[in-house]
Amino acid sequence: MRTTVIVLLLLFICAGLASVSTYAVSQGEYAVLTQFGKPSRTVDEAGLYFKRPGFLETVNRIERRTHVFSTQPIQLLLGDQNPIVLTCYVCWRVRDPLLFFQSVVTMDIAAQKLGDMVNSQLGNTLGDYLLVNIINTRPEDVKIAEIESKILETTNVKTQEKYGIEVVQVGIRRLAYPSIVAEAVYNRMRSEREKEARKYRAEGQEEATMIKARADREVKEILAESYKKAEIRKGEGDRQALKIYAEAYGKDPEFFEFMRSMEVYETILGENSTLVLSTDSELFRYLNHPKGKE
């Protein structure tokens, strides 16, 4: 019985020593071990490890995953002295856990230092650019991607040297104008849009004029062709009529002249018409002729 108690006591002591002398590191973190507050070693691979028990060595865990935060809005001047308000987003992660632990210790302090550093680089970089490089209807004149790249490059060098932090990405999240320049900016944008609208309307009017001219030309060509065909057919009809008249006249000239005279009488001696002519007129030769009475 006494032996059993001793064994259980030894097992309990061993379990207690194991619990305070072992620690696990996951894939998403680093571990910095300190001895009486001073860093003693760094663990950057996942697994189960041993340490000195209790207060002799302390495990400080640092996340190695990528973190994202937004900077505080800041008002800056561009190269043309136009003020602008910007907010950026920053993606970062710990690259050197020992340097990070010695310089900033916590994630909140790291985010604060990074935000100040990014805003400082924004002020230095934006002085080389104009308002038209930030807001413009022509994509080739917008330099936002270039600005972000410069800020990322300069910030990343400093953060790795001072804090052991790698800045993965820096981007402009929001752009705004102070109220004193907002109206001027809107007026300029409106003017540019009106200019574009006038350009499109002029191009549309030019295209419409060309279409109308082409249609008018086609109409004239169709009418001319139709008139040509009509005249040809009319000439054919007149030729046939003359041929028929000539044949009829050749068969009986006297009868032909008589019929033509009757047609003329019918035309000129219509209802309610008055015609004063001499009875000796050639027009009435058939009416005055003795045989005409018959």
CATH classification of the domain holding 74: 3.30.479.30
Q: Are residues 148 and 95 in the same domain?
A: yes
Say if 131 falls within a structural domain. Answer: yes
| DSSP code of residue 271 | T
Cα 151 to chain centroid distance, Å, stands at: 26
d(CA 290, CA 251): 24
Q: What is the pLDDT of residue 271?
A: 62
Burial of residue 171, with CB atoms counted within 10 A of its CB: 0-12 exposed, 13-18 middle, 19 or more buried: middle
Question: Are residues 92 and 143 both part of a single domain?
Answer: yes
Give the β-pairing of 29-35 and 165-176.
unpaired
Residues 215 and 152 in one domain: no
Torsion angles phi and psi, residue 148, rounded to 5 = -60, -40
* pTM score of the predicted model: 0.55
Is 127 part of a structural domain of the chain? yes
Instruction: Give residue 169's pLDDT.
Output: 93
What integer pLDDT is reported at residue 293 of this predicted model? 43
Looking at the fold, whether 201 and 104 belong to one and the same domain comes out as no
- The pLDDT score that the predictor gives to residue 69 is 92
**Is 74 part of a structural domain of the chain?**
yes
Last residue of a domain, one of 146, 176, 206: 176
Are residues 77 and 17 part of one domain?
no
- Write down the pLDDT at residue 291: 52
Which of 41, 63, 85 is the C-terminal boundary of a domain? 63
Question: Angle 157-154-94 (CA atoms, 0-180°, nearest 5)?
Answer: 40
Is residue 192 one of the residues assigned to a domain?
no
Tell me the C-alpha distance between 294 and 288, whole Å: 11
- pLDDT in tens for each of the 294 residues of the chain? 666 655 555 555 554 445 557 778 888 889 888 887 788 888 888 888 877 776 678 888 888 889 999 998 888 888 888 888 889 999 999 999 989 988 887 888 999 999 999 988 888 888 888 888 887 778 888 888 999 999 999 999 889 999 999 999 999 988 887 766 667 667 777 888 888 889 899 999 989 989 998 998 999 989 988 988 888 888 888 888 878 777 777 776 777 777 777 777 667 666 666 666 665 666 666 655 555 444
The residue segments making up the domain with residue 118 are 67-176
d(CA 86, CA 177): 9
* Beta strand pairing call for 165-176 and 38-43: unpaired
Last residue of a domain, one of 46, 63, 80: 63
In a domain, 191, yes or no: no
Asked if residue 58 lies in contact with residue 51, where contact means CB atoms within 8 angstroms, the answer is no
Structural domain contains residue 189: no
Looking at residue 127, its pLDDT comes to 86
Q: Is the dihedral angle over the CA atoms 102, 107, 108, 111 positive or is it negative?
A: positive
Answer whether 44's CB lies under 8 Å from 90's CB. no
Judge if 227 and 166 occupy the same domain.
no
Select from 140, 137, 136 the least CA-distant residue to 82.
136
Rounded-to-integer distance, Cα 89 and Cα 79, Å: 23
By DSSP bridging, strand 74-77 and strand 47-50 are unpaired
Question: Is 57 contained in some domain?
Answer: yes
81 and 117 co-located in one domain? yes
**Residue 257 shares a structural domain with residue 246:** no
- Total number of domains in the chain: 4
Q: Same domain, yes or no, for 143 and 84?
A: yes
154 and 169 fall within a common domain: yes
In a domain, 183, yes or no: no
> What local confidence, expressed as pLDDT, does residue 67 receive?
92
What was the pLDDT predicted at 277?
60
Question: By C-alpha distance, which of 189, 84, 93 is closest to 147?
Answer: 84
Do 218 and 268 reside in the same domain of the chain?
no
Token readout for 135 is 């807001």
Do 150 and 206 have their domain in common? no
∠ at Cα 56 (54, 57), nearest 5°? 85
